Amino acid sequence: MTTDLNLSKMRSEFGFPVRYFLSANDTEIDMNALIGRYLSIEYQHEIYCVSCGKRTSKSYMNGHCYDCYTTLPECDEGVFNPEKDMSHLGISRDMEWSKKYSLIDHYVYLAYTGDLKVGVTRYNQIPTRWIDQGAVAAIRFAKTPNRNLAGQIEVEMKKHIADKTNWRRMLMFSQPNVDLVERKKALLPLLPDDLRIYESFDDSVVEIMYPYQVVANLKSVSLDKFDRIEGKLAGIKGQYLIFDNGAAFNVRSHSGYKVKLEIL
């Protein structure tokens, strides 16, 4: 099977294990079904904006052209840094967009992605956000009525734990080695009183299993450096396709890239 497609973030469905689907024109490819099969991803040296469809020489923020990157609300600085979202003050590139995506309940969470990390997501992106990051376990830490407040809490927590995922460590671990409930209890008192009031009393831990077994000698590969990435698909975790030769390919970071996908 051979097909041309513009790459986009894989859609996931929570299950044991997580199920992954790759959009291919008018259909979806069941990626879990391809584990154990030989794949070839050949770059066609074309990138198309995921928003406007315009061809672009460079991808910004996972698949946008420069014009969209500098004008669209979903590319605003507050998306990268929630504490800088100003929509609660009426400041936004698009207030209607902000009402739908920023001025709604957000969760600050603790997740294990090879190390303990803190993050922010909209209430309706749980557990998708955790899956995209390759977390094997996560817990709700705080719940806020808008993105800015969640960002303020994240900033406080970043003084004590990381807010980034190390891709290599994420792919090396399949089980958490921390007690998320105990870490939550230890971190909550470190919040200022005006932010402590947003504590989440939901102490349930969500565990996530992926269709992936640890592969040795991992190396990150990019279509910016290689015209073709190929090998037997060994598993999927986060937004990574992991091959038996150790190649780890981040699908989401190549959004908009036109490729020829061959499945043998």
Q: How confident is the model at residue 1 (pLDDT cuts 50, 70, 90)?
A: confident
Share of the chain above pLDDT 70, in %: 100
Q: Does the pLDDT of residue 175 top 90, yes or no?
A: no
Share of the chain above pLDDT 90, in %: 94
* Structure token pair of residue 19: 């199920």
How far, in Å, CA of 165 to CA of 29, rounded? 27
* Cis peptide bond N-terminal to 17, omega within 30: yes
Convert the pLDDT of each residue in 2-31 to its tens digit.
899 999 999 999 999 999 999 998 899 999
Convert the pLDDT of each residue in 189-235 to its tens digit.
999 999 999 999 999 999 999 999 889 899 999 999 999 999 999 99
Task: Output the CA–CA distances (angstroms, integers) from residue 97 to 75, 91, 100, 103, in the order listed.
Answer: 12, 12, 5, 9
How far, in Å, CA of 151 to CA of 34, rounded? 38
- Which one, of 40, 41, 35, lies nearest residue 211 by Cα? 35
* Structure token pair of residue 143: 């719940």
Q: How confident is the model at residue 174 (pLDDT cuts 50, 70, 90)?
A: confident
Contacts of 118 (CB under 8 A, 6+ apart): 108, 109, 110, 111, 141, 154, 157, 158, 161, 162, 163
Count other C-beta atoms under 10 Å from residue 71's C-beta: 13
- Which one, of 61, 111, 125, lies nearest residue 256 by Cα? 61
Q: Does the pLDDT of residue 70 top 90, yes or no?
A: yes
pTM as predicted: 0.94
* Structure token pair of residue 155: 């900033």
Q: Does the pLDDT of residue 98 top 90, yes or no?
A: yes
Sheet architecture: strand order including 205-207: 116-122, 106-112, 137-144, 205-207
Over the chain, what is the mean pLDDT?
96
**Cα 187 to chain centroid, rounded:** 24
